[in-house]
Amino acid sequence: MAALTELNKTGTVPAGTQRIVVSVDAMGGDLGPATVVAGLAMSARANPGIAFILHGDRAELDGLVAKHPELAGRCDVRHAEGVVTMDDKPAQVLRSGKNTSMWSAIDAVRDKEAEVCVSCGNTGALMVLSMMRLRKLPGINRPAIACYWPSTNPGGFNVMLDVGADVRADEMDLMQYALMGVSFARNSLGLARPRVGLLNVGTEDHKGRSEIKAAAELIQDAAESGTFEFIGNVEGSDIPSDKVDVVVTDGFTGNVALKTAEGTAHMFKGFLKAAFTATPLSRLAAMFASTSLKRLSARMDPRRVNGGVFLGLTGTVVKSHGSADPTGIAAAVQLAHDLARSGFNDKLAARVAYVPVARQDDADKDAEQDTASK
């Protein structure tokens, strides 16, 4: 807790403002630590009560932090020699990554020096290290990655999970994802009674694999508590709709859907740009529509929803896109800040506390086998 004490002494925090400390893997990411620090400066301007523990090369980070007056007195730099690269295999990092910035950033949350960890680094390595250093919550068989999905709902977003933590999921896993997704939606989107849908190849009850059908029954039973509404099966076209708030699926399907949506959005952005620059007349039309186009561009900007949250662990970890720019970094940090301020992880632990822990040993063995094979 020494770092927290020092940050509280040196930072200027308005009276009554809750101090939130975010642990940041400053060396993870495609664009380097300068981009990460620039994103932290943007976040610091927006959040007077935020402070950071930065992990990485001290000499480089001290120089970068000094360029941003907003970060003065709000950063504790922890030196870490190693960096987890995008090509490193999770098993390799687990064996020899103790001196890396990613490992150090997660340990700050484990040691209660920070409320949440943010990293732009290798997703597989981050998940494995988070599981091993933070451990799973009691009752959780497989953690999940939840993300915001732009939608036509009044709040502008839905929640989808799992989007890549584990390619497998049986009926119990899917039910746990539903409970975790409900807690995430309630605390991050302010939804009192989220609507949960189970992603399937059709909305009919008889559609889908056996585990999907079994999961639907389990989720419906859990919904009888009255804290959320289960609307049944949903299809891919429903993911961005106002029909549902939380979309539940396995990590394989969720990740494919996420990457497909990102690629499609990028393609249509290119089509739109080409259409408005094709001829002098179209360029003139673009000038008249510039305000609407800027509004549409902001609505479709993936940086606004940057950050997948690892759910089901004893601490909160936010995974930013590896290619995130300062705006994307700031969005991921904002998400981390908001979750920490709401006490999200304690609420999540309470929600899943009653989930049966049968098959926990089997799930641990599966996780170990998956790690060994990577």
| CATH code where residue 67 lies | 3.40.50
Q: What is the pLDDT along the chain (374 residues), one digit of tens a residue?
A: 333 334 443 444 444 556 899 999 999 888 899 999 999 999 999 998 999 999 999 999 999 999 999 999 999 999 999 999 888 898 989 888 899 999 999 999 999 999 999 999 888 899 999 999 999 888 888 899 998 888 889 888 999 998 988 888 999 999 999 999 999 998 888 898 999 999 999 888 888 888 999 999 999 998 887 689 999 999 999 999 999 999 999 999 998 998 888 788 778 878 888 888 888 888 887 777 777 766 666 665 555 667 789 999 999 999 988 888 899 899 999 999 989 988 888 888 877 765 554 444 444 444 444 444 44
Same domain for 298 and 151: yes
Residues 176 and 277 in one domain: yes
Domain end marker among 305, 329, 357? 305
| 115/27 same-domain check | yes
In 80-164, beta strands by DSSP E: 116-119, 144-150, 157-161
Last residue of a domain, one of 305, 329, 348: 305
Domain boundary among 305, 333, 362: 305
Non-local (6+) Cβ contacts of 344 within 8 A are: 183, 184, 187, 188, 316
Residues 201-229, buried b or exposed e (16+ Cβ, 10 A)? eeeeeeebeebbbbbbebbeebbeeeebe
* One domain for residues 286 and 156: yes
Q: Hunting for tokens 């099966």 — which residue is that?
A: 233
Co-location of 269 and 328 in the same domain: no
Same domain, 115 and 153: no
Pair (132, 149) in one structural domain: no
Q: Mark whether 107 and 160 lie in a shared domain.
A: no
- The number of distinct structural domains making up the chain is 2
Based on the domain organization, do 176 and 235 belong to the same domain? yes
One domain, residues 192 and 252: yes
| Domain match, 108 and 202 both | no
Find all residues with CB under 8 Å of 199, minimum gap 6, and list them. 233, 234, 235, 236, 239, 247, 248, 249, 253, 254, 257
Which range marks the domain in which residue 205 is found? 144-305
Strand order in the sheet with 157-161: 75-79, 50-56, 20-25, 116-119, 316-319, 308-311, 144-150, 157-161, 246-248, 195-199, 229-234
* CATH assignment at residue 186: 3.40.718.10
Q: What whole-number distance in Å separates Cα of residue 2 and Cα of residue 43? A: 23
41 and 86 both lie in a single domain: yes
